[in-house]
Amino acid sequence: MNTDFYTVTIDGTKFELLKRYDQLKIIGFGAQGVVCSAYDLVLERSVAIKKLSRPFQNVTHAKRAFRELKIMQLVDHKNIIGLLDVFTPQQTLKEFQDVYLVMELMDANLCQVIQMDLDHERMSFLLYQLLCGIKHLHSAGIIHRDIKPSNIVVNGDCTLKILDFGLARPTTSALLMTPYVVTRYYRAPEVILGMGYQENADIWSVGCIMGEMIRGHVIFPGDYHVDQWNKIVEQLGTPSQDFMSRLQPTVRKYVENRPFQAGYSFETLFPDAMFSEQSLTQCDLNSTQARDLLSKMLVIDPEKRISVEDALSHPFVRVWHDDSEVNAPASGTYDESFEQIQSVRQWKELIFKEIQNFQEDWMIL
Ligand code: AMP
């Protein structure tokens, strides 16, 4: 029995926490576990604590947990959530069960903010920060591919941080896993259609988020995988033959056999009436600029879609430009070769070792 820890059960979930973390309250649920707010008696600040229950229980969970642990330590940027502590209440590898990640606490996730009547200033500031965070992840070799509002957290002062680090290399077990419903609304066409992808796959997700801020609801609410593609084409139109020619033969056959869609102009899809009234009276940022940026992000063909750099230089976003935020280099690159590991036993060891390394590094500091 380790006396540094205490046990508390909230809403049926048992937490075994270091005594420094007090006043636990549940604030969210994710694919991997429960998230609480707490007060850290040592740092004298509020924190968020995520409990990962048996993260090595299958390869998909293990990859996600390891990815999160590694990447949070690799990146240090104001638009990416910072890791403050990692611990497990179990003392040995044999007993090892749960991981607790202690992070900076934010007020809400973007789902709770996106439907508010956001004026241009707030919208452009949120987009600027999201693009800075994404650019920083790219500099660490991480193309996210799964940016969505539930993985973005914000504070009342409109500051924004990315919470999660995206899709790992796919495995067959990913298909079998978890009752948790996967949100695909924000995934780029090249990700949905299984093509190669580049950094600007993440720009598509930013476009979906921006469109939702303007419209007030999800812009491509596909009911299932293929329906996601249909929702995109209904609004943006059937893509060019050149794009089709880059698809795998079976996917190409499906896409080419869909009825032709002409699509709509961005003025029709996102008319002035959808923008906040307040924002229409502001002179420096306007809905024409917002629509111009959106029309460059929501481009089906990634070869014709705007890059992260160019989006950051767009007049709707560059008003916030600060070189130290836009061009902050990562301290290293994420080694994806770990993600080849398929044995649960090896993952258990690796995650346990990573927690120990964190504790040791912390002692040295
Ligand atoms: P996750 O398991 O990381 O997907 O998080 C699930 C939910 O918990 C998020 O959508 C947020 O609502 C909330 N959450 C997670 N981490 C934090 C944090 N650091 N600050 C505030 N809320 C958080």
Q: Is 287 in the pocket of ligand 1 (CB under 6 A)?
A: no
Fold held by 108-326:
Transferase(Phosphotransferase); domain 1 (1.10.510)
Provide the H-helix boundaries in 156-263: 173-176, 189-192, 201-215, 225-236, 241-244, 249-257
Structure tokens at 187: 């995934």
The per-residue pLDDT for 283 is 56
What single string gives the DSSP state of each residue in 208-236? HHHHHHHHSS-SS--SSHHHHHHHHHHHH
Q: DSSP letter at 141? A: T
pLDDT confidence bin for 200, thresholds 50/70/90 = very high
Lowest mean pLDDT among 70-79, 82-91, 354-363: 354-363
Q: In this structure, which long-range contacts are made by residues 195-201, counting pairs with CB atoms below 8 Å and at least 24 apart in sequence? A: 195/246, 195/247, 195/248, 197/143, 197/145, 197/302, 198/143, 198/302, 199/138, 199/143, 199/307, 199/308, 200/302, 200/305, 200/306, 200/307, 200/308, 201/143, 201/144, 201/145, 201/302
CATH class of 5-105+331-356: alpha beta
Instruction: From residue 58, give the alpha-carbon distance in Å to each of 62, 73, 336, 337.
Output: 6, 23, 18, 18
| pLDDT tens sequence across 207-242 | 999 999 999 999 999 988 889 999 999 999 999 999
The per-residue pLDDT for 171 is 41
Q: Is 27 in the pocket of ligand 1 (CB under 6 A)?
A: yes
Nearest C-alpha neighbor of 193 from the set 250, 118, 112: 250
Q: Is 163 in the pocket of ligand 1 (CB under 6 A)?
A: yes
Q: Is 47 in the pocket of ligand 1 (CB under 6 A)?
A: no
| pLDDT tens sequence across 153-166 | 999 999 999 998 87
In this model, does residue 177 exceed pLDDT 70? Answer: no
Catalytic site residue 361? no
In this model, does residue 91 exceed pLDDT 60? Answer: yes
Residue nearest to atom 4 of ligand 1 (CA): 30
In this model, does residue 6 exceed pLDDT 60? Answer: yes
The Cα–Cα gap between 335 and 337 comes to 6
Location of each CATH 1.10.510.10 domain in the chain = 108-326
Give the ligand 1 atom nearest the CA of 164: 3
Location of each CATH 3.30.200.20 domain in the chain = 5-105+331-356
Catalytically annotated residue among 40, 146, 164, 202: 146
Contact 222/193 with Cβ under 8 angstroms? no
Q: DSSP letter at 320? A: G
Q: What is the mean pLDDT of residues 315-332?
A: 93
361 C-beta neighbours (distance < 10 Å), count: 10
Q: CA dihedral defined by 116, 122, 126, 131, rounded to 10 degrees?
A: 130
Q: What is the CA radius of gyration of the chain?
A: 22
pLDDT confidence bin for 52, thresholds 50/70/90 = very high
Give the ligand 1 atom nearest the CA of 105: 20
SS3 percent helix, strand, coil of the chain, rounded to 5, is 40, 15, 40
Mutate to test the pocket of ligand 1, among 27, 67, 147 (most ligand atoms within 8 A of CB): 27
